């Protein structure tokens, strides 16, 4: 057999062959090339004519769910392996990616290009239908050079660490007001008031105004802040279904699209009002805000700025609210970890009135590791979507240009292959070796750099990431400085509404920690 192959080597030299022979008869030999498999051979659920795989998402009888993308992803991985092809809508392929090595290949392939994604399609239609208000679809759905034109201008006020620090004093002041509110009131569900905090912080930084969202007037159902929070939640709740359904909204107004239109109309009205007010105020006074910088930028016109104002209101409330909710939940459920965070807080802050400075945040190592570990267990979304702009080989399959790929980081982050005790909350995983609190037993396996990407990756990562992280750091420091946090609800899970939302009310108790002569003691303890 070997002699035969050597004799005819001239015919096979152009391809590498793996030959497994158990017979002198060539027809009985198993010959396999090392070339990537065909795109159509990628395993996945069966797609039917007209409805694709939508039948698998039907309530009660479907095995997948748009509102539980984590469990749906786990089922796909278990049945089909680390690369799955699915046609949710006929002729529109989505590739679910479960290997960090493949995720790295996706991002390497877009180097030097403008990253593209297929998202917020109904929002894009809404804005394109209103050319009197918007110039583009905004940062979220826009692709190509037009997206980069917006991104490179808008990120000028968010990309540098000092940009974030400029708002630290005001942020700390608002958060201290919030902590005082938590001390004075009891909340059956903590989520609504937490949403008000992040709306207040968003308006402070973006527009340079206070909405007074904590006031009794604003906490009424028909107030401006209440309507903004509801509009953001409604939009984020319908986007996923509008993107992945039959998209009949392209031809007539469906009930889901009507919800989006009404929610966006209100956010648009508020954005126009705030932008107009800022234009008038700039003539007589100047204060620091995103909006000030945008209005002074000659590369942006008023329609660009209105679109960005709406995007900030849409993206700035729910994402950070939910991420903070899960972080507080994990601290409440893990009192030993909460105590470690409190020790760090007491080392950094001598008393409760001491301002939080840039130096304090730079040294809040354990606080940052708590946030990172919470985002591992409960990330903002299931993963990152991209439209491939070049052919890419993933898991030894050829995936062509133009294919939609969605990374499954949320599922990967809970696999024992990549993390010791993957379902346990262990912030020490993320501490550097030189940290005194670091423990190599906790650190365990080396962590692949493309596993945890809660804010995205590359040029299209979250434009306000630094602000979100700073807000969460300040809040956790202030809450653990002032309270012992406990949980009196059932186990908290997630529901997928484009972003991952807690699936139940937030049942926290906050027990005040008193300060006496610089020493913190729990209420009712002896001094």
Give me the CATH number covering residue 42.
Answer: 3.30.43.20
pLDDT at 351: 87
Q: Report the Cα 429 to chain-centroid distance in Å.
A: 20
Q: What is the pLDDT of residues 96-118, one digit of tens each?
A: 999 999 999 999 999 999 999 99
Q: Rounded to the nearest 5 degrees, what angle is found at the Cα of 122, between the Cα atoms of 301 and 292? A: 25
pLDDT at 204: 95
pLDDT band at 510 (very low <50, low <70, confident <90, very high): very high
Q: Assess whether 185 and 269 both reside in one domain.
A: yes
Contact 178, 471 (CB under 8 A): no
pLDDT at 10: 43
| Helix-strand-coil split of the chain, %, nearest 5 | 50, 10, 40
Give me the CATH number covering residue 502.
Answer: 1.10.630.10
Query: Could you give the percent of the chain with pLDDT greater than 70?
Result: 88
Q: What is the pLDDT of residues 42-76, one digit of tens each?
A: 999 999 998 999 999 998 889 999 899 999 999 99
Taking residues 263-291, report their average pLDDT. 88
In a domain, 433, yes or no: no
Q: How far apart, in Å, are the Cα atoms of 298 and each of 37, 278, 304, 310, 464?
A: 50, 16, 11, 20, 22
Q: How far apart, in Å, are the Cα atoms of 338 and each of 17, 27, 491?
A: 58, 67, 18
pLDDT at 163: 84
Measured CA to CA, the distance from residue 465 to residue 473 in angstroms comes to 12
Res. 445: pLDDT tops 80: no
Res. 433: pLDDT tops 80: no
Taking residues 183-190, report their average pLDDT. 96
Q: How far apart, in Å, are the Cα atoms of 83 and each of 96, 377, 432?
A: 6, 22, 32
Q: Rounded to the nearest 5 degrees, what angle is found at the Cα of 231, between the Cα atoms of 228 and 233? A: 110
Q: Assess whether 96 and 208 both reside in one domain.
A: no
pLDDT at 89: 86
pLDDT band at 353 (very low <50, low <70, confident <90, very high): confident
Q: How far apart, in Å, are the Cα atoms of 494 and each of 70, 328, 356, 377?
A: 9, 15, 32, 10
Three-class SS state of 353: coil
Three-class SS state of 357: coil
Among 358, 393, 413, where does a domain finish? Answer: 413
In a domain, 370, yes or no: no
Q: Assess whether 92 and 150 both reside in one domain.
A: no
Measured CA to CA, the distance from residue 207 to residue 213 in angstroms comes to 14
Per-position b or e across 259-293, b if 16+ CB within 10 A of its CB: bbbebbebbbebbeebbeebeeeeeeeeeebbbbb
Three-class SS state of 300: coil
Can you tell me which residue has the tokens 């359904």?
245
Res. 517: pLDDT tops 50: no
Q: Rounded to the nearest 5 degrees, what angle is found at the Cα of 451, between the Cα atoms of 448 and 457? A: 110
Measured CA to CA, the distance from residue 136 to residue 306 in angstroms comes to 10
Measured CA to CA, the distance from residue 311 to residue 464 in angstroms comes to 11
Res. 302: pLDDT tops 80: yes
Handedness of CA 313, 318, 319, 321 (dihedral sign): positive
pLDDT at 451: 97
Contact 75, 64 (CB under 8 A): yes
pLDDT band at 24 (very low <50, low <70, confident <90, very high): very low
Res. 4: pLDDT tops 60: no
pLDDT at 245: 80
Token pair for 122: 């109904």
Closest CA to 95 of 34, 37, 35, 33: 37
In a domain, 347, yes or no: no
Contact 350, 38 (CB under 8 A): no
Res. 5: pLDDT tops 50: no
Q: Assess whether 62 and 167 both reside in one domain.
A: no
What are the two backbone dihedrals, phi and then psi, of residue 201, each rounded to the nearest 5 degrees? -70, -35
Rg of the chain on CA atoms, in Å: 26
Read off the pTM.
0.89
Q: Assess whether 195 and 327 both reside in one domain.
A: yes
Q: Assess whether 198 and 139 both reside in one domain.
A: yes
The residue ranking higher by pLDDT, 241 or 477, is 477
Token pair for 469: 């992280």
Q: Assess whether 462 and 499 both reside in one domain.
A: yes
pLDDT at 27: 43
Res. 519: pLDDT tops 90: no
Q: What is the pLDDT of residues 131-183, one digit of tens each?
A: 999 999 999 999 999 999 999 999 999 888 888 899 999 999 999 999 999 99
Q: What is the pLDDT of residues 236-274, one digit of tens each?
A: 999 989 998 889 999 999 999 999 999 999 999 999 999
Closest CA to 195 of 224, 228, 229, 220: 229
E strand or H helix that includes residue 494: strand 494-497
Q: Assess whether 167 and 263 both reside in one domain.
A: yes
Res. 205: pLDDT tops 70: yes
Q: Assess whether 162 and 287 both reside in one domain.
A: yes
Handedness of CA 424, 425, 431, 436 (dihedral sign): negative
Measured CA to CA, the distance from residue 193 to residue 325 in angstroms comes to 11
pLDDT at 70: 95
The strand pair at 483-487 and 508-516 is best described as antiparallel
pLDDT at 357: 96
What are the two backbone dihedrals, phi and then psi, of residue 488, each rounded to the nearest 5 degrees? -130, 35
What are the two backbone dihedrals, phi and then psi, of residue 20, each rounded to the nearest 5 degrees? -120, 105
pLDDT at 497: 87
Measured CA to CA, the distance from residue 445 to residue 420 in angstroms comes to 7
In a domain, 443, yes or no: no
Contact 122, 243 (CB under 8 A): yes
Q: What is the pLDDT of residues 319-345, one digit of tens each?
A: 999 999 999 999 999 999 999 999 999
Q: Is there a binding annotation on residue 462?
A: yes
Q: Assess whether 159 and 211 both reside in one domain.
A: yes
Q: How many domains does the chain divide into?
A: 2
Res. 2: pLDDT tops 90: no
Q: How far apart, in Å, are the Cα atoms of 288 and each of 160, 281, 363, 446?
A: 15, 12, 26, 42
In a domain, 189, yes or no: yes
Measured CA to CA, the distance from residue 189 to residue 497 in angstroms comes to 19
pLDDT at 443: 52
The residue ranking higher by pLDDT, 457 or 33, is 457
Token pair for 77: 């991985």
Measured CA to CA, the distance from residue 73 to residue 499 in angstroms comes to 15
Q: Which domain holds residue 82?
A: 35-118+381-413
- The tally of CA atoms less than 13 A away on the side-chain side of residue 282 is 17
First to last CA, the chain: 89
pLDDT at 515: 61
In a domain, 441, yes or no: no
Handedness of CA 351, 353, 354, 358 (dihedral sign): positive
Can you tell me which residue has the tokens 């968010």?
158
Q: Assess whether 210 and 62 both reside in one domain.
A: no
Q: Assess whether 316 and 183 both reside in one domain.
A: yes
In a domain, 22, yes or no: no
In a domain, 526, yes or no: no
Res. 436: pLDDT tops 80: no
Q: How far apart, in Å, are the Cα atoms of 202 and each of 53, 208, 239, 304?
A: 39, 9, 21, 18
Measured CA to CA, the distance from residue 127 to residue 136 in angstroms comes to 7
Contact 437, 340 (CB under 8 A): yes
pLDDT band at 14 (very low <50, low <70, confident <90, very high): very low
Contact 109, 389 (CB under 8 A): yes
């Amino acid at each position: 057999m070997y002699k035969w192959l050597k004799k005819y080597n001239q015919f096979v030299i152009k391809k590498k062959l793996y030959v497994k022979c158990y017979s002198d008869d060539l027809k009985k030999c198993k010959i396999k090339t090392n070339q990537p498999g065909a795109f159509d051979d990628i395993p996945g659920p069966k797609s039917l004519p007209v409805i694709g795989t939508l039948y698998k998402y039907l309530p009660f009888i479907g095995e997948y769910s748009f509102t539980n993308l984590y469990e749906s992803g786990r089922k796909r991985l278990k049945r089909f392996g680390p690369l799955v092809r699915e046609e949710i809508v006929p002729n529109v392929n989505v590739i679910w990616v479960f290997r960090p090595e493949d995720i790295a290949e996706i991002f390497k392939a877009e180097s030097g290009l403008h990253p593209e994604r297929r998202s917020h399609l109904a929002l894009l239609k809404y804005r394109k239908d209103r050319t009197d208000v918007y110039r583009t679809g905004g940062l979220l759905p826009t692709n190509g050079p037009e997206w980069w034109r917006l991104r490179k201008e808008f990120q000028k006020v968010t990309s540098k660490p000092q940009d974030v620090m400029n708002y630290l004093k005001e942020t700390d002041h608002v958060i201290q007001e919030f902590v005082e509110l938590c001390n004075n009131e009891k909340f059956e569900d903590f989520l609504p008031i937490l949403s008000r905090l992040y709306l207040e912080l968003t308006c402070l930084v973006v527009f340079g105004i206070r909405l007074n969202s904590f006031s009794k007037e604003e906490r009424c159902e028909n107030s401006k802040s209440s309507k903004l929070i509801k509009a953001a939640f409604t939009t984020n709740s319908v986007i996923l279904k509008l993107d992945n359904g039959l998209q009949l909204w392209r031809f007539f107004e469906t009930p889901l699209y009507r919800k989006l239109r009404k929610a966006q109309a209100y956010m648009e009205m508020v954005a126009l009002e705030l932008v107009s007010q800022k234009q008038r105020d700039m003539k007589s006074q100047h204060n620091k805000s995103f909006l000030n910088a945008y209005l002074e930028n000659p590369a942006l016109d008023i329609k660009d700025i209105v679109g960005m104002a709406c995007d900030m209101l849409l993206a700035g409330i729910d994402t950070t609210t939910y991420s903070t909710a899960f972080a507080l939940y994990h601290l409440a459920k893990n009192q030993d970890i909460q105590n470690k965070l409190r020790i760090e807080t007491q080392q950094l802050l001598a008393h409760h009135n001491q301002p939080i400075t840039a130096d304090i945040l730079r040294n809040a190592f354990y606080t940052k590791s708590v946030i990172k570990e919470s985002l591992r267990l409960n990330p903002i979304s299931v993963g990152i979507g991209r439209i491939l702009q070049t052919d890419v080989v993933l898991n030894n399959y050829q995936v062509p240009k133009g294919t939609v790929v969605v990374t499954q980081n949320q599922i990967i982050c809970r696999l024992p292959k990549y993390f010791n005790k993957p379902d346990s909350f262990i912030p020490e995983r993320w501490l550097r070796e030189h940290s005194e609190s670091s423990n190599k037993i906790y650190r365990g396996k080396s962590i692949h750099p493309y596993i945890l990407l809660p804010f995205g990756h590359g040029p299209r990562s979250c434009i306000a990431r630094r602000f979100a992280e700073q807000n969460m750091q300040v809040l956790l420091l202030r809450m653990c400085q002032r309270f012992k946090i406990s949980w009196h609800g059932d186990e908290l899970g997630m529901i997928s509404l484009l972003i991952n939302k807690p699936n139940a009310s937030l049942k926290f108790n906050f027990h005040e920690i008193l300060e006496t002569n610089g020493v913190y003691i729990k209420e009712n303890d002896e001094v």
